[in-house]
Every structure is written in C-alpha cells, then in structure tokens.
Amino acid sequence: MRIDAKNNFDAGFIYAWLKSPMGQQMISAQTYGSVIVHINPEHLASLPIPDALEDFQAQKFFPSS
C-alpha cells in the first residue's frame, strides 16, 4: 500500500508517526483477519495523523527532492 504526501517532510513525518508505538497501536486496531492480517485503504485513511508543528517543519529535517 502506498501513501502519497504533499512533500518530503510530510512523507517522513507520516512514516515516523505510523512507525511509532501509538501509530502501530492505531493500525493494529484497524486490522482484521485471524490468519492473514488485512487493512483496507479506507481504514488507513481514517487514522488520525497529528499536524507537525510549524517551527519543526521550518527546520527542514527532510531535504526536498
């Protein structure tokens, strides 16, 4: 599954959030299936992603391509 972000910062922030313990917990709550675990794009799209602070974004941790 692929998630398109507006820019490199957003992509990096979304990745970091989804890989965090809280993000992983939210993803696992949306999965279904007992043997093969599934998640639908609609379920993933409904996960809340926090807004990164503007001053954190201004530091440009992720260089633009």
Residues 12 and 28: their CA atoms lie apart, in Å, by: 20
CA torsion 50-56-61-62 (nearest 10°) is 40
CB of 5 closer than 8 Å to CB of 11: yes
Largest CA distance in the chain: 44
In tens, the pLDDT along 20-36 reads 898 888 888 888 887 77
Global pTM value: 0.61
* Higher-scoring residue by pLDDT: 54, 2: 2
